[in-house]
Amino acid sequence: MDPESVITDTTNWPSPAKLNLFLYITGRKPNGYHELQTLFQFVDHGDTLDITANSSGDITLSPEIPGVPLQVNLIWKAATALQKATNTQLGAHIELTKVLPMGGGIGGGSSNAATVLVALNFLWQLGLDSEQLADIGLHLGADVPVFVKGHAAFAEGVGEQLTAAYPEEKVYLVVKPEVSIATVDIFTHPDLTRNTPKRSLETLLATDYGNDCEKIVRLIYPEVDKQLSWLLQYAPSRLTGTGSCVFAEFDSKSSAESVQNKLSDSVSAFIAKGRNVSPLMKTLADYQSAYS
């Protein structure tokens, strides 16, 4: 890699949310990890990162996230993991505009990490392919590879076996009750369903979608139970991931807006369109074209 080829302009990158359109737990490994089948789809709503590559060798972030030390911030961990994997001496300053709620089950931290890997691979002109970036990402979190690869996917195993999928791109009303949920609390719950039969993607796409974590989350968190019960009056609705965000699906933005207008002021919400190709991939292609 030629340091002279590094792109030092400040560039702006999306870090989209994801939804688990369905999530089934099919087994548990001896090491405690759960085997699952889930369908990931991106939405056109998320955080943004302004990234400026430099030759300092340092990774600096702003603003600081309260309660998240630098060394455990997934953005910093992703950038330093990429440095280590490629032995680069380059650095970057990264400014995060955070709009996605933490602890919501919509992949904010994993998406941030993936955006950093994709963006710095391009800005530093490292030349890694998506498989190599996804491998680095997997060590940061099970959901990072799907964000790196940037296509809606059917995930199996512990979430690392990805098959491109093409679910309908619906309009979603995503609602976050005023609770944050730790994934570990759900996956360690004794009553969690862990033996849902494995099915083919074709069968799952033709079946009403569900989420095996939903029963436990509704049991432990009455705020989530209340919100889901309310949404189900208006549209098919369910939990994403292990929560706490829930989502209702609609065929039009106007239908979603009419329900959003009825929401309580005690919850936060946004409307977004499902995207089978991540907004991150479009941004990458645009920058590749601009700097070619």
Distance of CA 158 to the CA centre of its chain: 15
Q: How far apart are CA 134 and CA 159, in angstroms?
A: 12
96 membership: H or E segment, kind and range: strand 91-97
Cβ(115)–Cβ(143) under 8 Å? no
Q: Identify the active-site residue in 77, 143, 149, 212.
A: 143
Q: How far apart are CA 279 and CA 41, in angstroms?
A: 11
Residue among 103, 105, 126, 104 nearest 116 (CA): 126
12 membership: H or E segment, kind and range: strand 11-28
- Find the farthest-apart pair of alpha carbons in the chain and give their distance in angstroms, rounded: 59
Catalytic annotation present for 170: no
Catalytic annotation present for 185: no
Q: How many CA atoms lie within 13 A of 114 on its CB side?
A: 33
Positive or negative torsion for Cα 40, 44, 45, 47: positive
Catalytic residues: 18, 143
